[in-house]
Amino acid sequence: MTETIVSLRHVAKSYRRGKQSIDVLQDLSLDIAKGEFVALMGPSGSGKTTLLNLIGGLDTPTSGEITVAGQRLDQLGSGALARWRSTHVGFVFQFYNLMPMLSAERNVELPLALTLVGIEDRAKHKPSELSGGQAQRVAIARALVADPTLLVCDEPTGDLDRKSADDVLHLLQVLNREHGKSIVVVTHDPKAAEFAGRQLHMDKGSLLEAGSLAA
Ligand code: ADP
Ligand code: MG
């Protein structure tokens, strides 16, 4: 039996803006098995980042159930959610979110992870001294430090040239295949689909194709 790492049931998310309520996700259900590498695609504004943030425990749903690595996230308060997140999920963002004053190794705080992503020779460099592709690999190394089972990446290749994007996608594939990380990548990059094992497509807050869904 395959273990499930991410399970959403009838999840809705709305944002309040003054008196107005903006419904971003509606009745969304999804299962991701442990060890999957999923590419989440869809037009800008369709709710990809919102969904990714819910899966990673950066935000909580308005209604519905979210279970990740056996933990019901929708029942946790913000403190408990932050603690859970820090040990279970690694985050990778489009613009790396590195600390500009710190060298690569101090951004990561675990030099072994730099070896894993293949840039140990840039350990002493600051972000401004790294290419986009190198900076993203440092960001991936940092996301791996707590040895999370789940990596969530929001457009990790969005700011990279083709070669650097391929290097980052290949690195994610190695982390998935050889290190057993479950990965969800939001991307506009059609080539990401070649690296991921499964594609999900979002439109206007709903999944068009949810793959293998339990009841
Ligand atoms: P995507 O990542 O697919 O581009 P998002 O999840 O970022 O889409 O956004 C989906 C919709 O939710 C957009 O219409 C956006 O304006 C709205 N939205 C996202 N975050 C907030 C927020 N914090 N407050 C209000 N509206 C938001
Ligand atoms: Mg987004």
**213 pLDDT tier (thresholds 50, 70, 90):** very low
Pairing state of beta strands 71-72 and 89-92?
unpaired
Query: Residue 17 CA: which ligand 1 atom is closest?
Result: 25
Q: Say yes or no to pLDDT of 210 above 70.
A: no
pTM greater than the 0.85 cutoff? yes
**141 pLDDT tier (thresholds 50, 70, 90):** confident
CA distance 161 to 191: 12
User: Residue 111's pLDDT is what?
Assistant: 66
Nearest CA, atom 7, ligand 1: 49
Pocket test for ligand 1, best of 13, 49, 186 (most atoms within 8 A of CB): 49
Domain coordinates in residue numbering, the chain: 31-60+87-206
Nearest CA, atom 14, ligand 1: 45
Residues flanking ligand 1, CB < 6 Å: 15, 17, 22, 24, 42, 44-50
**CATH no., domain 31-60+87-206:** 3.40.50.300
